[in-house]
Amino acid sequence: MHKNSSIGIIIRDIRFVVKEVIPLKLVLRFLKKYWYTAMLASAFMIAEVYVDLYQPRMMALIVDEGILGLASGGVSNLGLVISTGSRMLLVVIAGGLCGLLSALFANITGQGCGNEIRKLCFDRIMHFSFAQTDDFTTGSLITRITNDVTQLQQLIMQLIRGLVRCLMFFIGGTAALLSLDLSFGVIVACAFPLILIDIIFVVWRTNPLFTVLQESLDRLNSIIQENVTGIRVVKAFIQEKQEEARFDEANRNLVETQFNVQMLLSFLRPVMNIVLNIAVVGILYVGSVQIQKGTVAPGTVMAAITYLSQILNGMMMLAMIFQTLSRGLASSRRLQAVIDTRSEILKDPSLASDGDGSRGSVLFENVSFVYTDNGAEVLHDINLSIFPGETLAIIGSTGCGKSSLVSLIPRFYDVAEGRVLVDGVDVRAYDPAALREKITVCLQKSELFSTTIRDNIALGNPEATEAEIRMAAMSAQADGFILLQPEGYDTPVAERGMSLSGGQRQRIAIARALLKRGEILIFDDSTSALDLKTEAALYDALNQNYSDVTKIIIAQRIASVRNADRIVVLDGGTISACGTHDELMLSSPVYRDIYDSQLREEATA
User: For residue 375, what is the domain's CATH number?
Assistant: 3.40.50.300
Note whether 376 and 301 are same-domain residues: no
Note whether 315 and 367 are same-domain residues: no
Q: Which amino acid is at 403?
A: S
Note whether 600 and 569 are same-domain residues: yes
Note whether 396 and 446 are same-domain residues: yes
Based on the structure, what is the number of domains in the chain?
2
What are 446-502's pLDDT values in tens digits?
788 888 889 988 887 888 889 999 999 999 898 888 998 888 889 888 777 777 888
| Residue 71 belongs to some domain of the structure | yes
What are 521-550's pLDDT values in tens digits?
999 888 888 888 888 888 888 888 888 899
Examine the pLDDT at 14 and tell me if it is beyond 70.
no
User: How confident is residue 168, by pLDDT bands cut at 50, 70 and 90?
Assistant: confident
What are 589-598's pLDDT values in tens digits?
988 888 888 7
Structural contact between residues 27 and 155, judged by C-beta atoms closer than 8 angstroms: yes
Structural contact between residues 484 and 424, judged by C-beta atoms closer than 8 angstroms: no
User: How confident is residue 364, by pLDDT bands cut at 50, 70 and 90?
Assistant: very high
**Mean pLDDT estimate for the chain:** 80
Write 367-371 long-range contacts (CB < 8 A, 24+): 367/408, 367/415, 367/417, 367/418, 367/419, 367/420, 368/415, 368/416, 368/417, 368/418, 369/401, 369/404, 369/405, 369/408, 369/413, 369/415, 369/416, 370/416, 371/131, 371/404, 371/413
- Stretch (H or E) spanning 441: strand 439-443
Could you tell me which residues come within 8 angstroms of residue 143 by beta carbon, excluding any fewer than 6 positions away? 214, 217, 218, 221
Note whether 264 and 361 are same-domain residues: no
* 492 DSSP assignment: B
Question: How far apart, in Å, do the first and last CA atoms of the chain sit?
Answer: 83
- Stretch (H or E) spanning 553: strand 550-554
Note whether 310 and 423 are same-domain residues: no
Please give the Cα distance from 65 to 76 (Å, whole number): 7
Note whether 473 and 592 are same-domain residues: yes
Please give the Cα distance from 498 to 483 (Å, whole number): 18
Looking at 439-568, list the stretches that DSSP marks H as alpha helix, in order from N- to C-terminal side: 453-457, 466-475, 479-483, 502-516, 532-545, 558-561
Give the β-pairing of 566-571 and 574-579: antiparallel
| Residue 579 belongs to some domain of the structure | yes
Confidence (pTM): 0.67
Residue 359 Ramachandran class (φ > 0 left, ψ -120 to 50 alpha, else beta) = beta
Last residue of a domain, which of 305, 340, 375? 340
Note whether 397 and 468 are same-domain residues: yes
In what side-by-side order are the strands of the sheet with 566-571?
A: 439-443, 520-524, 550-554, 391-396, 566-571, 574-579
| Residue 234 belongs to some domain of the structure | no
Note whether 172 and 191 are same-domain residues: yes
| Residue 61 belongs to some domain of the structure | yes
What are 83-93's pLDDT values in tens digits?
877 888 888 88
Note whether 297 and 380 are same-domain residues: no
| Residue 481 belongs to some domain of the structure | yes
Last residue of a domain, which of 307, 323, 340? 340
Q: Which domain CATH number covers 305?
A: 1.20.1560.10
| Residue 311 belongs to some domain of the structure | yes
Quote the domain boundaries for residue 545. Answer: 349-604
Note whether 297 and 357 are same-domain residues: no
More confident residue, 286 or 509: 509
| Residue 223 belongs to some domain of the structure | no
Last residue of a domain, which of 340, 361, 396? 340
Note whether 390 and 306 are same-domain residues: no
- DSSP bridge partners of 571: 574
User: How confident is residue 600, by pLDDT bands cut at 50, 70 and 90?
Assistant: low
| Residue 239 belongs to some domain of the structure | no
Write 592-597 long-range contacts (CB < 8 A, 24+): 594/395, 594/396, 594/397, 594/558, 594/569, 595/558
Burial of 549 (C-beta count, 10 Å sphere; 0-12/13-18/19+):
buried
